[in-house]
Amino acid sequence: MTTTSRVVVAGGTGALGRALVELLLAQGDRVAVPFRSRGGFDRLRDGLPAADALWGAPAEISTTAGAGAFLDAAAAELGGVDAVAVVAGAYAGSGPVD
């Protein structure tokens, strides 16, 4: 039996996040993505074959209040949230080695 999951992907507009969003949508899941840039979300959504199953909203996920507000909104939009994937971030470990 196939079940549809409702998944929040924080960082879904990034390289890793996009790959995860595409995978989830391809298996029939519904996905919610918080974004800081409308353009970034539009680039994610454009061209996705299952874009109807993708929902996004502006959010400040670096604060507890902002992340909580997005989770509440995503749960209301999707009818609940089954899983959260956090792939937001930046790589800061590439400094010079002496």
Ligand X SMILES: NC(=O)c1ccc[n+]([C@@H]2O[C@H](COP(=O)([O-])OP(=O)(O)OC[C@H]3O[C@@H](n4cnc5c(N)ncnc54)[C@H](OP(=O)(O)O)[C@@H]3O)[C@@H](O)[C@H]2O)c1
Binding site for ligand X (CB under 6 A): 11, 13-17, 35-37, 40, 61-62, 87-91
Nearer to ligand X, 19 or 26 (CB): 19
Which residue number, 26 or 86, has a Cβ lying nearer to ligand X? 86
Beta bridge partners of 86: 10
Q: Tell me the closest approach of the beta carbon of residue 29 to ligand X, in angstroms.
A: 19
CA distance 10 to 8: 6
Q: How many CB atoms lie within 10 A of CB 59?
A: 21
CB burial class (10 A; 0-12, 13-18, 19+) of residue 57? middle
The length of the chain in residues reads: 98
Residue with tokens 């992907």: 9
What's the closest the beta carbon of residue 35 comes to ligand X, in angstroms? 6
Q: Which is nearer to ligand X, 19 or 28 (CB)?
A: 19
Provide the minimum distance between the beta carbon of 38 and ligand X in the complex, in angstroms, as a whole number. Answer: 10
Residue 6 vs 41, nearer CB to ligand X:
41
Give residue for tokens 């089954």.
82
Nearest residue to ligand X by CB is 14
